[in-house]
Amino acid sequence: MRITVFGATGGVGQEIVRQALTAGHKVTAVVRDPARLTVTGEGLEVFRADVRDPEAVRPAVTGRDAVLSGLGARNRADAARGLATELTRGVLRAMDAEGARRLLVVSAAPVGPEPADSPFFDRALLGVVGRVLRDVYTDLTAMEAELAASATDWTSVRPPRLTNKPVTGRYRKVVGGSPRSGRVIGRADVAHAMLGMIDDRDTVRRGVGVAY
């Protein structure tokens, strides 16, 4: 499979690249600074470009089986100016121009619906986190609106708090919702989940909650 990864120097992005190469896929990693990409391997193409320029990244999505994105704001200042939305819009425009269809992105659990049977403590915690990271979730909500308005076969993967735990392959997944009391997941397992959803038609144009 030929895969393009945006945000390939980030925590989730590098895990996507690493696991995809291990699985034998051909991977194009789109980066602004190649020096920040620590993953190497046979089948890896490093493509240097600014995602905000759709014309510049069009060659990176041409003829690909799937595009996976770990793009997002690195801090609340970036979120306040809508960076995740801006960058994802660039990816969508490039894909539209090249007729590329399959897209999977990283969002966040609070953007999706809360489980109906969520315990009181979880609801209270979510409210606190939502206030503290309001700009981040506003940005991601706008990003998901861009996905919904696009012609792509998108999937928005919505993890809770991220850790650097090694890949386990053992986590819960809820299409159209979030796992009950799902409070944490490793970046490596988010990458694992995204790669596993590429051919999962049940996740197309849906949000998917993932958590331990």
Q: Which residue has the higher pLDDT, 117 or 91?
A: 91
89-113 per-position pLDDT tens digit: 999 999 999 999 999 999 999 998 7
Max mean pLDDT among 49-53, 78-82, 107-111, 200-204 falls in 200-204
E runs forming strands in 102-146: 102-106
User: Band of the pLDDT at 80, cuts 50, 70, 90?
Assistant: confident
Residue 72 CA to residue 6 CA, distance in Å, equals 10
pLDDT on residue 96: 97
Continuous segment of H or E residues that includes residue 4: strand 2-6
For a pLDDT cut of 70, what percent of the chain falls above it?
91
Taking only the tens place, the pLDDT of each residue in 127-167 is 555 565 678 889 999 999 999 999 999 999 999 999 999 99
How high is the pLDDT of residue 74? 80
Residues 6+ apart with CB under 8 A from 104: 66, 67, 68, 69, 154, 155, 156, 157, 194, 197, 198
Q: What is the mean pLDDT of residues 32-39?
A: 94
| Predicted local confidence at residue 20, as pLDDT | 98
CATH number reported for the structural domain that contains residue 57 in this entry: 3.40.50.720
- pTM for the whole thing? 0.92
Lowest-confidence segment of 34-38, 113-117, 140-144, 207-211 by average pLDDT: 113-117
What's 166's DSSP letter? Answer: P
Instruction: Give the span between the Cα atoms of 52 and 57, in whole angstroms.
Output: 9
Please determine, for residue 118, whether its predicted confidence score (pLDDT) is greater than 90: no
Higher pLDDT, 176 or 116: 176
What token pair was written down for 73? 């704001």
**Nearest of 161, 104, 112, 111 to residue 137 by alpha carbon:** 111
Tell me what percent of the residues of the chain surpass a pLDDT of 90.
82
Domain of residue 56: give its range: 2-211
Number of domains in the chain: 1
- If you write DSSP's letter for every residue of 21-83 in order, what string do you get? HHTT-EEEEEES-GGG-----TTEEEEE--TT-HHHHHHHHTT-SEEEE----SSHHHHHTTH
- Averaged pLDDT score across all residues of the chain: 92
